[in-house]
Amino acid sequence: MSTPIIQLAATARVYRADGVEVHAVRRVSLEIQQGEFVAIMGSSGSGKSTLMNILGCLDRPTGGEYLLDGVSVSTLSRSQLATLRNRKLGFVFQNFNLLARTTALENVELPMFYRKPLVALSSQRRRAVEALQRVGLGDRLGHRPSQLSGGQQQRIAIARALVNEPELVLADEPTGNLDTRTSIDIMGLFQELNDSGITIVMVTHELDIASYCKRIIVMRDGLVISDAPNPERRQAGPERAKLDEAEQIAKLD
């Protein structure tokens, strides 16, 4: 078996606020392999967001070890972390985090702008267009986020996460701001991407959403309390059909 994309060994993160130590993540050890689709669940304060920040190289662990694609993250400088985020990671946020007043295409081109050495401008455009086509927004290149629906905005964010061909896509409550139908669509998109080989780690507090993933990790008080494959995995296609049916019935009543 090849190197796991993520290796956590007794990883911990302690905050010091007003002299009080807060153990946001205590001792987490786990591995995530290429091609997995993992949900990290837990209530607020369980440490899942902190863990996500560490996985995303936005934050460094204060204890233990974190290897991303075999590279130890703890000792890297701020710029080295930035480079790692740029080359190996794609982010999808709850509130989309798109640049306002900037077109979909330009938003998707953004990660390539910070890639060193720079990608040729013409192939930047081509890759951004391809990424947008992949998420089904090939006809919305020139639209700005404010002209698009929440689901469409999240698709732009996903295209942006994919454009640098990352090892791993990290999604933080990606459906938190979306309605049920759009959520199913987005999860469907993630499933498609995962089927094509992209590794995805997602933080959510909704079991509904987690149930689309292949593996579910549950956290509480900074510890992993359960880590198991998801036996009853939902598929977006049938779920959408079920939803349509239910709406149909509701209308008939």
Map the footprint of other proteins across residues 174-233, applying CB under 8 A: none
Is the bond preceding residue 117 a cis peptide, omega within 30 degrees?
yes
Q: Nearest approach, Cβ of 181 to other proteins (angstroms)?
A: 27
One residue of 33, 34, 83, 182 binding other proteins per CB under 8 A: 83
One residue of 9, 14, 30, 58 binding other proteins per CB under 8 A: 58
Contact predicate 50/23, CB 8 Å: no
Site string for other proteins, 13-32 (x = CB under 8 A): --------------------
Name the residue among 173, 156, 167 with its Cα closest to residue 199: 167
Q: Nearest approach, Cβ of 94 to other proteins (angstroms)?
A: 11
The phi-psi region of residue 89 (left if phi > 0; otherwise alpha if psi is between -120 and 50; otherwise beta) is beta
Q: Which residues pair with 30 in a beta bridge?
A: 8
Map the footprint of other proteins across residues 85-144, applying CB under 8 A: 85-87, 91, 93, 97-99, 101, 110-111, 113-118
Q: Nearest approach, Cβ of 163 to other proteins (angstroms)?
A: 9
One residue of 16, 21, 78, 197 binding other proteins per CB under 8 A: 78
Name the residue among 57, 45, 69, 61 with its Cα closest to residue 10: 61
Nearer to other proteins, 134 or 234 (CB): 134
Site string for other proteins, 28-57 (x = CB under 8 A): -------------------------x--x-
The token duo for 12 is 């911990």
Nearer to other proteins, 34 or 94 (CB): 94
d(CA 152, CA 157): 9
Q: Nearest approach, Cβ of 53 to other proteins (angstroms)?
A: 6
Contact predicate 170/90, CB 8 Å: yes
Taking contact as CB under 8 A, which single stretch among the options 22-30, 82-90, 140-148, 212-220 is the one that binds other proteins?
82-90
Contact predicate 96/157, CB 8 Å: yes
Write out the H or E segment, with its range, that includes residue 92: strand 89-92
d(CA 19, CA 116): 40
Q: Which residues bind other proteins (CB under 8 A)?
A: 53, 56, 58-59, 78-79, 82-83, 85-87, 91, 93, 97-99, 101, 110-111, 113-118, 160, 164
